[in-house]
Chains A and B, each alone.
Chain A
Amino acid sequence: MIYDPNPVAFWLLAAMVAGCALAVVRARKLFHAGLALVGTLFAVAGLYGLLQVWFLAAVQVLVYAGAIAIMLLFAIMLTHHMMTPDLKSLTTQPWTAAALCLMLLAILLGATLTSTWQTAPDTTLSPTWTPKSGFQVAEAVPSIKALGFRLLDPFTLPFEMVSVLILVSMIGALVVARKNPALPKAPEGREEEAP
């Protein structure tokens, strides 16, 4: 049978997602926008839960709401007096952007809603593997175990690449974000090619 989520929960969460997202893009105070983002992220996590993808819901809360949002909040605090809307006007080109976004929405909706999707009865979730029984198509809900094997078998390379990605972005970010250092005294012998 096709999976059937609870409509009430969906609409509630959907409203929360849309509302919080609207707050993110329209809030007058940046701090509120940040909080609204956290709200959105939680609501999305809720939707994952509604879809029974619990692992991702947890990741969403831990990594996204817990880490990324907090980092952004720190950035807000580093660059702002916290609660003050310090810009002369909050927005630029609001109407053009709104028109564009509506067109974009129309296209996205149009394309997705006229397509037929290959949905299938909820029996063929990706197989799991146990040492005893080998591959099995058993669980209706994508399990963490299945996910882990999937990450290890075909997606090994991107998995490793993501670690490199995070490493390099941290190296670079550290350099760029660091305070202006007083230019270090050049060690001897480094000046030979200076103009």
Chain B
Amino acid sequence: MSPIGLNHFLALGAVLFCLGTYGVLTRRNAIAVLLSLELMFNAVNLNLVAFARFMPNLDGVVLAVFVIAVAAAEATVGVALVLSIYRNFRHIDLDQVDTMKG
């Protein structure tokens, strides 16, 4: 097996990011969308940590810590909004949350 380098991690990050994107774009369930968003943030973190380790530059880890914190805040807000959608629509199917258009 060939040795593992930075680009392996980056490629994995890219894959993870795109999978997250796919989830965000396709899942009708709002919470599933939130889960997918977390994937995207994780992809970023994976990139940052890999850079931090291979460059090497500690700042990447620092940035990753911040990203985790931001992701936590985003999740909080997301859950609150999902609950708000649920209360008003009695469902959380994003595809049917379309009273405004045009």
Q: Which residues of A contact B (CB under 8 A)?
A: 2-8, 10-11, 14, 17-18, 21-22, 24-25, 30, 33-34, 37, 40-41, 44, 47-48, 51-53, 55-56, 59-60, 63-64, 67-69, 71-72, 74-76, 78-80, 86-87, 89-94, 97-98, 100-102, 104-105, 108-109, 112-113, 117-120, 122, 124-126, 142, 146-147, 150-151, 155, 158-159, 162, 165-166, 169-170, 172-174, 176-177, 179-180
Contacts and interface: CB of A to CB of B under 8 A. Distances in A.
Interface in B46-76: 46, 49-59, 61-62, 64-66, 68-76
Given A71-B79, A176-B84, A47 B26 contact: no
Interface residues of B, number: 76
Given A44-B42, A90-B27, A169-B76, A151 B52 contact: no
Q: Which 9 A-B pairs have the closest CB atoms?
A: A126-B58, A25-B23, A173-B80, A97-B25, A177-B80, A108-B14, A91-B26, A169-B73, A7-B1
Contacts of A126: 56-59
A44 B18 contact: no
Contacts of A100: 21, 25
Nearest to A177: B80
A90 B69 CA distance: 30
Interface string B14-38: 1111111111011111011011101
Given A17-B16, A37-B35, A11 B1 contact: yes
A4 to B, nearest CB: 6
A174 B81 CA distance: 10
Contacts, number: 248
A73 B79 CA distance: 10
Nearest to A149: B58
Contacts of A76: 31
Contacts of A68: 38, 71-72, 75
Contact of B46 (A47, A87, A101): A47
Contacts of B34: 72, 75
A103 to B, nearest CB: 9
Contacts of A18: 12, 15-16, 19
